[in-house]
Amino acid sequence: MRRRRRSRRPPLPRVRATTRSARSGRRRGSPTRASSARPAAPTFPGRSARRRRRARSTRRARAGPPSRPASRCRRPRPRHRATRSRSPPPPRRSPATRRRPAARSRATARFAPSRSCEQPTFGCDHRAVADAFIPSPPSNGLHLGPFFFHAYGLAYVAAVIAAVAITSRRWRAVGGDPKLVQEVALWAFPAGLIGGRLYFLATSWNEVPPHWWGPFAIWRGGLGIWGGIAAGTLVGIWVLHRRRADIPVFLDAAAPALLVAQAIGRVGNYFNQELFGGPTTLPWGLEIDPAHRPARYASYATFHPTFLYEIVWNLLLAFAPARSSCESTPLTTSSAYG
């Protein structure tokens, strides 16, 4: 009977002692056994790679986000993130070391655009400067010795004189008495001033000086043309009614004169630098001083002279009916003016 041959297992390899005590004992000459040392752990493929990835992710988590913000790069990066860096902000400058903008000249500051917010351009570039424009008046009045006469008041006086002269000529042409025109003007002119002031107080109360005499400060401006025309016309009709005059014929004779008077009165708006339109770079644009510009258009220099447009329109309307015969149907000219 054959004996079954027992298979021998291969002997375990001797493991080199890696502990500190084993190394120190070997140096001193003490014998060490292979069985007393702990055998090395078996290695598996891929475990070391996982450990390295885990350690790398731990280091990234401790270090925080990347030092530079994410940008639109063409190729992907391993550390590309959309978060910003946590680096400390730069030190703030003291008020003494801060940079101040360079001083600009008066001409540059006048035409420089504002940086506060976007503003409407009214069909033109706000950075453009008009090549030609109407200059602003040097003063709003006239000095005669110790007295100062406002140009706005002088324009009103000239308007009244022109209206009386034109109305007298047309009223005489239809057989009327010129003295009646002077009497009507004597009553209508003060009534027009009062009506114009009341119209201004009703529509622009915020511009009245904050004093007890503010509503009476006509020398500071503030007359509404429509209130003056309405009050002067009503008082003039009352005078004509008392004198038993032909009211429709007189109104036809006075209508062109009122247009001319209104055109002359608008010249005072030029000296006061008021009643202008939006910004423009046209050759007939009016230059407005910075003190008279609205806050939202402080960076613009030239504006539409709307009062000049009204002057031209009034003169065209005044001379068109003046060519017609005064013997036409009553109220024809005055209704055309209205």
What does the pLDDT average to over 235-246?
A: 94
Cα gap 148→43, rounded to integer Å: 109
Task: Please give the mean pLDDT across all residues of the chain.
Answer: 75
Name, of 74-78, 126-130, 240-244, the range with top average pLDDT. 240-244
Which among 243, 139, 235 is positioned nearest to 193, based on CA atoms? 235
Instruction: Provide the sign of the torsion angle of the four alpha carbons 231, 236, 241, 246, taken in this order.
Output: negative
- Which residue is listed with tokens 């002269």? 165
Q: Which whole-number Å values give the CA distances from 317 to 219, 226, 248, 321, 333, in the listed order?
A: 31, 17, 19, 7, 10
The domain segmentation of the chain, as residue ranges, is 153-337
Model pLDDT for residues 102-149, shown as the tens digit of each residue: 555 554 554 444 444 444 444 444 444 566 788 888 888 888 888 888
Model pLDDT for residues 265-302, shown as the tens digit of each residue: 899 889 888 889 999 999 999 999 998 898 899 999 99
In this structure, what token pair is assigned to residue 94? 């003291």
Model pLDDT for residues 177-188, shown as the tens digit of each residue: 999 999 999 999
- Which residue is listed with tokens 């003056």? 228
Place 323 in a pLDDT band, splitting at 50, 70 and 90.
low
Please report the beta strands in 271-336, taking only residues with DSSP state E, as ranges in sequence order: 286-287, 302-303
Q: Which whole-number Å values give the CA distances from 43 to 12, 15, 47, 54, in the listed order?
A: 16, 15, 8, 18
How many CB atoms are located within 10 Å of the residue 222 CB? 20
Using the predicted structure, report yes or no on whether residue 9 has a pLDDT greater than 80.
no
* pTM reported for the whole predicted model: 0.56
